[in-house]
Amino acid sequence: MNFEKDMRELTEIPALSGHEDKMIAYLLKRLEGLCEDVHVDKLGNITATYPGTEEDGGSIAYFAHMDEVGLIVKKVEEDGFLRLERVGGVPEKVLPASMVDVHTLDETRTYRAVIGNTSHHLTPADKKFAVTPIGELYVDLGCKSKAEVLEKGVDIGSVVTYIPNFTLLGDYVASKALDDRMGIYTLLYMAEELGKTEHKATIHLIFTVQEEFNIRSATPTFCRLQPDAAICVDISPACDTPELKGRYEMAVGEGVAIMYMNFHGRGTLGGLLPNPKLNAFLEKTAEEEGLKCQKEVVIGVITDDAFTQHAGTEGIPMAHLSIPLRYTHSLAEVASRRDVEDCAKLMLASACRFGKDIDICRG
């Protein structure tokens, strides 16, 4: 793996929830020669399976989502401006004056565009400190009419994504879609290493779709596989910036976090209470490997494992690894290269140690 090259490639690929085909094609190409058993289900989830050395060595899955947040065109105005809806948790406050890519309805062409922002000189006082709601935002494609927009192949249903912007910040990186291309990077790292590393258990690497939209699209894969355990790899908001300092114990550069509880924070979407023994197994593995780790409890975050833990006939013991991330869901998220690489090492080490002899039973 080449961190800079691979992360640049991964973040450049547009993969809005429900529109992950370019990413699916990229990942299938990367897995060629690295895994003999690759499966793509009808939703687009990819599973790469590596048989264990023991006939009854058990099975464990590692999974991360390939999609990203973005926008979709809901209306083309007669004067050529595009009206939008959010796909996933896009923060409206970051959108005005943002550069975006508008994709044709068939997703074969892309046009650079800008999300409009009222001219500063003419902004009324009561609007200067207000967040513009999604219903008032629009995309300027440089077209003078609806007919000109349609002629370009853009229409209702066209997707709009943040522009690629991968940048090195010393030991840190900044980019759109680090959530969860960092997790995808760790799975590709495992894919490269598992073919030359002995492991007792059968290992499934799962690249999931539509996490940012409905969080549930990985469930059929887990119903099909029903592994003995599973570990989700995603991000968690870092709280080491001035406005969030101290809110939660999560800092960029301090290692991957082992999650003890997450929860959406409202309604019935729920979250994950991980298997305590699986968490202890990860902590012991990290200690033995000399890898720095954090502990995480956070409200306001939820991901695939909230629902995949209920898959199958008996449920699946779950744990969750979080890579700290600043400025989540924005056009420029920031993370530590070291945290990503340590997460990948912990995943591989735990996969090589896992087997039927690891006690994760309850009670």
User: How high is the pLDDT of residue 278?
Assistant: 97
Stated as kind and residue range, the H or E segment containing 87 is strand 82-87
User: How high is the pLDDT of residue 11?
Assistant: 98
Catalytic residue among 20, 193, 211, 333: 211
User: How high is the pLDDT of residue 351?
Assistant: 97
| Separation of alpha carbons 260 and 248, rounded Å | 13
User: How high is the pLDDT of residue 107?
Assistant: 96
Render pLDDT for 165-199 as a digit per residue (tens, 0 to 9). 999 999 999 999 999 999 999 999 999 999 889 99
User: How high is the pLDDT of residue 98?
Assistant: 95
Does 121 score more than 90 pLDDT? no
User: How high is the pLDDT of residue 217?
Assistant: 92
Render pLDDT for 310-319 as a digit per residue (tens, 0 to 9). 888 999 999 9
| Separation of alpha carbons 259 and 249, rounded Å | 11
| Separation of alpha carbons 336 and 286, rounded Å | 18
Render pLDDT for 39-63 as a digit per residue (tens, 0 to 9). 999 999 999 999 999 888 899 999 9
Render pLDDT for 238-271 as a digit per residue (tens, 0 to 9). 999 999 988 888 999 999 999 999 888 776 668 8
178 φ, ψ to 5°? -60, -30
| Separation of alpha carbons 188 and 194, rounded Å | 10
Q: How much is the mean pLDDT over the chain?
A: 94
User: How high is the pLDDT of residue 299?
Assistant: 85
Render pLDDT for 210-245 as a digit per residue (tens, 0 to 9). 999 998 899 999 999 999 999 999 999 999 999 998
Cα–Cα distance list, 229 to 201, 321, 350 (Å)? 11, 14, 12
Out of 106-115, 344-353, 354-363, pick the least confident: 354-363
Indicate the pairing of strand 172-175 with strand 333-336. antiparallel
Q: Is 20 an active-site residue?
A: no
| pTM score | 0.95
User: How high is the pLDDT of residue 263?
Assistant: 87
User: How high is the pLDDT of residue 126?
Assistant: 85
**Assigned token pair, 28:** 């299938």
Cis before 180 (ω within 30) = yes
